């Protein structure tokens, strides 16, 4: 695989509630995304206030083949021209992962193309691999299920140096949205409400102070469960007639607290590990305030800062293809590799 001038990859991602397929072309150090299709189920899960596993799986089954054939059609390639298949096999919801994994295995056998299993968290990081990176680097990966700091020596050697000890950051956003009746998905809902407050003159009106959990702790771990509980107390203390007006303030302060901890600890890790680049990845990397905050803090110290464009932050298959393209440079994927691949909901980066 290393010597091939071109590598054309079809990648599949179904770890949660997005059915996604992408086709990428690697040639002489350049990467081109030929197609990147995402069929989102957000509208379907909205009425339940969160992803319902069985409903998600049923929609993956219905969507996976149309999405895959659309992606292939838009890329202008035929199956015979694909060199490598890639699929997210974990971590994620087992019922969702299984649909993508089994589809990819079937395609591998039918098309006689090798299949590579990709870790979803590594794929999020790989969303940054469209541009050249100066290593070493640290990457803050934040999503609905994960919050971790990964140290990368290069594209292939990495280790987890910090993580949440309870809830993921994205999960805290979702739960705060639920406490405040803001709807689903919680991240964008909390941010939009926070924005309403920040455009007012908050210095004179801000009364709520939330904690910055573990910000001073001598490690790179996070805790968001207590922050969520602090929001609960703040809401309980509010006089009921002020509740609606103060919701924006709570959202603003919660978002600031979460982002301050995420930024501070990532920069602390960058200093400790003497990196050249700070990366941001994962669904919560679509949060505008977090992007601004980490970028400013990283560039102030003199680090390069990279974050994928919005559509490569939330779940997609292009990032899975990117990850596979880099992994394939270091390993030969056998034609019968599909036999060994199965969904692994708890596959963590270590």
Partner 1 sequence: MIFMKYISKSEQETRAIAKKVAAELKGGETLCLIGDLGAGKTAFTKGLARALGVKQIITSPTFVLMKNYKTTGQRSIKQLTHIDAYRLSEGRELEAIGALEYFNGKDCVTVIEWADRVRDAWPKKIIKVEFRILKGERREIEIK
Q: How many CA atoms lie within 13 A of 141 on its CB side?
A: 27
> Is 91 or 325 the residue whose CB approaches partner 1 more closely?
91
CB of 319 to partner 1, least distance (A): 18
- Over the range 165-193, which residues count as b (16 or more CB within 10 Å of their CB) and which as e? ebbbbbbbbbbbbbbbebebbbbbbbbeb
Find the helix or strand (DSSP H, E) in which 262 lies.
helix 243-272
CB of 105 to partner 1, least distance (A): 19
What x/- string results for residues 99 through 138 when contact with partner 1 is judged by CB under 8 A? ----------------------------------------
Among 136, 226, 264, 326, binds partner 1 (CB under 8 A): 226
CB of 154 to partner 1, least distance (A): 27
Cα–Cα distance measured from residue 348 to residue 164, given in angstroms and rounded to the nearest whole number: 13
What sign for the dihedral angle of Cα 311, 161, 170, 210?
A: negative
Q: Is 251 in the site for partner 1 (CB under 8 A)?
A: no
Rounded alpha-carbon distances, angstroms, from residue 316 to 127, 129, 325: 9, 14, 15
Cα–Cα distance measured from residue 226 to residue 192, given in angstroms and rounded to the nearest whole number: 23
Q: Is 44 in the site for partner 1 (CB under 8 A)?
A: no
CB of 95 to partner 1, least distance (A): 5
Tell which positions 54-73 bind partner 1, by CB under 8 A: 54, 57
Q: Which ranges of 112-224 does DSSP label H, i.e. alpha helix?
A: 120-126, 169-179, 186-198, 202-205
Tell which positions 143-162 bind partner 1, by CB under 8 A: 144-146
Among 70, 83, 166, 304, binds partner 1 (CB under 8 A): 166
Stretch touching partner 1 by CB under 8 A, among 60-68, 171-179, 207-215, 306-314: 171-179
Q: Is 92 in the site for partner 1 (CB under 8 A)?
A: yes
Helix axes 225-237, 169-179, angle to 10 degrees: 20
Rounded alpha-carbon distances, angstroms, from residue 287 to 145, 189, 193, 349: 16, 11, 13, 23
Among 1, 44, 52, 349, binds partner 1 (CB under 8 A): 52
Q: Distance from CA of residue 107 to its chain's centroid?
A: 26
Q: Is 187 in the site for partner 1 (CB under 8 A)?
A: no
Q: Is 175 in the site for partner 1 (CB under 8 A)?
A: yes
Q: Is 337 in the site for partner 1 (CB under 8 A)?
A: no
Q: Is 40 in the site for partner 1 (CB under 8 A)?
A: no
> Is 319 or 343 the residue whose CB approaches partner 1 more closely?
343
Q: Is 179 in the site for partner 1 (CB under 8 A)?
A: yes
Q: Is 181 in the site for partner 1 (CB under 8 A)?
A: no
Stretch touching partner 1 by CB under 8 A, among 63-71, 172-180, 210-218, 258-266: 172-180
In this structure, the strands spanning 6-13 and 18-27 are antiparallel
Stretch touching partner 1 by CB under 8 A, among 71-79, 220-228, 250-258, 284-292: 220-228
Q: Is 233 in the site for partner 1 (CB under 8 A)?
A: yes
Residues 254 and 177: beta-carbon distance below 8 Å = no
Find the helix or strand (DSSP H, E) in which 43 lies.
helix 42-46
The Cβ of residue 27 has, within 10 Å, a number of other Cβ atoms equal to 12
Chain residues that interact with partner 1, rule: CB under 8 A: 16, 48, 50-54, 57, 91-95, 144-146, 163-168, 171, 175, 178-179, 221, 225-226, 228-229, 232-233, 345-346
């Amino acid at each position: 695989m290393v010597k091939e001038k071109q590598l054309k990859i079809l990648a599949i991602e179904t770890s949660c509630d997005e059915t996604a397929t992408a086709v990428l072309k690697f040639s002489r150090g350049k990467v081109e995304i030929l197609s990147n299709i995402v069929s989102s189920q957000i509208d379907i899960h909205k009425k339940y206030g969160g992803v319902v596993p069985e409903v998600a799986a049923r929609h993956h089954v219905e969507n996976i083949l149309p999405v895959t054939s659309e992606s292939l059609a838009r890329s202008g390639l035929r199956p015979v021209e694909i060199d490598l298949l890639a699929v997210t096999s974990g971590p994620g919801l087992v019922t969702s992962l299984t649909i993508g994994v089994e589809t990819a295995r079937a395609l591998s056998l039918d098309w006689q193309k090798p299949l590579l299993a990709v870790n979803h968290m590594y794929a999020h990081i790989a969303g940054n691999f469209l541009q050249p990176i100066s290593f070493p680097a640290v990457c803050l990966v934040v999503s609905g299920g994960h919050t971790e700091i990964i140290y990368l020596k290069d594209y292939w050697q990495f280790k987890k140096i910090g993580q949440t000890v309870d809830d993921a950051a994205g999960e805290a956003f979702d739960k705060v949205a639920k406490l405040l009746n803001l709807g689903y998905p919680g991240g964008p809902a909390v941010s939009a409400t926070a924005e309403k407050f920040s455009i007012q003159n908050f210095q004179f009106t801000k009364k709520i102070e939330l904690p910055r959990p573990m910000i001073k702790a001598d490690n790179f771990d996070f805790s968001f469960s207590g922050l969520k509980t602090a929001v609960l107390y703040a809401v309980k203390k509010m006089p009921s007639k002020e509740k609606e007006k103060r919701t924006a303030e709570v959202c603003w302060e919660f978002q600031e607290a979460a982002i301050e901890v995420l930024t501070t600890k990532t920069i602390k890790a960058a200093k400790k590990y003497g990196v050249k680049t700070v990366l941001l990845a994962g669904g919560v990397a679509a949060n505008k305030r977090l992007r601004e905050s980490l970028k400013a803090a990283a560039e102030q110290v003199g680090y390069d800062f990279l974050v994928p464009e919005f559509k490569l932050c939330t779940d997609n298959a292009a990032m899975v293809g990117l990850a596979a393209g880099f992994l394939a440079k270091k390993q030969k994927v056998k034609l019968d590799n599909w036999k060994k691949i199965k969904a692994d909901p708890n596959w963590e980066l270590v």
